[in-house]
Amino acid sequence: QVQLVESGGGLVQAGGSLRLSCAASGRTFNNYNLAWFRQAPGKEREFVAAIHRNLVFTRYVDSVKGRFTISRDNAKNTVYLQMSSLTPEDSAIYYCAAARNVALTTVSTTYDYWGQGTQVAVSS
């Protein structure tokens, strides 16, 4: 069992930056792939970024490549999402997710555990 708690969301102006954090409970954090998804009002949940348990492989949705960076600190049981050059289109609730499967996937149904989300609002 893994419990995930996100933090770091807030209101920021377009062009600004935020760093989201997701703290995980449990001693098997190193065994999970981790990801960030987001959901804007009236839209489906969207994959944003993922990082493999080996800390090497990462994946990003095209719209955030070059602007967002996912990282993890296995010693702190924490995954981060550094977001820069934010636009109003990035406004959403951001969710942290953990998956036990070996492959690094972008599909939400392959993730086993989810946090409650943190709100990000970008003003123009």
Contact 6, 114 (CB under 8 A): no
Among residues 29, 102, 18, the alpha carbon closest in space to that of 9 is found at 18
Instruction: Write down how long the chain is.
Output: 124
Among residues 63, 68, 41, 53, the alpha carbon closest in space to that of 103 is found at 53
**Beta-carbon neighbour count of residue 40 at 10 Å?**
14
Q: What is the pLDDT of residues 3-31, one digit of tens each?
A: 999 999 999 999 999 999 999 997 688 89
Which residues neighbour 121 within 8 Å (Cβ) at sequence distance 6 or greater? Answer: 10, 11, 12, 91
Quote the CA–CA distance of 104 and 52 in Å, as a whole number: 6
Q: What is the pLDDT of residues 31-75, one digit of tens each?
A: 999 999 999 999 999 999 999 998 889 999 999 999 999 999 999
**Beta-carbon neighbour count of residue 62 at 10 Å?**
6
